[in-house]
Amino acid sequence: MLHLIPLLILEKRDVVIVEDLSVAAEHRPAMTKIFLPFVVKEDSLKDEFELQLFTLIYESSYQRRTAMHQHPLLWLAAQKKADDMAEKNYFGHTSPSGFTANELVRSVGYKLPDWYKVKGNNVESIAVGGNKPENIAISWLNSSGHRDHVYAEAAFYKEQQCIGIGKSKAKDGRLLTVFISAVCADN
């Protein structure tokens, strides 16, 4: 659902700060910073890990997308998937209950193209292990199927410019990372 709210926009060199003026100052959520050329909402990232991974992937010479945008609903889907894998102790594109990546993205309210399979994965790459964004980016680069998706080397993924990244620690301490990309949609 789209909500229109009054905003205050402050420009600072290559950063634009957007503040929601519809809420009293002491109750305002984190301001949104727009880092050119992509958008990141401060409270949509748990820490700098996701932003660093996003930046590494976006700035890679292997990246074939012309633009990438962090999308809060896709971030939510990626985080839910990472947390689900950690809590239920599995590593896979389909949950133990049979819930698929496309279903997960739709369940958070993101509109995928109608022709994407209901029970399928047109949107997700996952990684286990690696405690630094560089390790994850390199592992996806070294896997042809993941490289096709994450770096859009396959033509199908070039139009998927809205991105979500999530991570969670598994019970054994290994890091579970999820990258979700989708065609940008009005949600």
Q: Which tens digits make up the pLDDT trace of 60-115?
A: 999 999 999 989 999 999 999 999 999 999 999 999 999 999 999 999 999 999 99
Question: Would you state the torsion angle of the CA atoms of residues 39, 168, 64, 14, taken in this order, to the nearest 10 degrees?
Answer: 20
**pLDDT higher than 70, residue 36:** no
Judged by average pLDDT, the poorest of 35-39, 106-110, 134-138 is 35-39
Which one is predicted more confidently, 36 or 63? Answer: 63
- The reported pLDDT for the residue numbered 47 is 77
Report how far residue 30's alpha carbon sits from residue 27's, in angstroms, rounded to the nearest whole number. Answer: 10
Q: What is the strand order of the sheet 15-20 is part of?
A: 7-12, 15-20, 32-35, 38-41
Whole-structure pTM value: 0.76
- The reported pLDDT for the residue numbered 108 is 93
Chain center to CA of 82: 11
Which residues partner with 182 through β-bridges? Answer: 162
> Ranked by mean pLDDT, which of 7-21, 22-36, 166-180 comes out on top?
166-180
What is the token pair recorded at 91? Answer: 């590593």
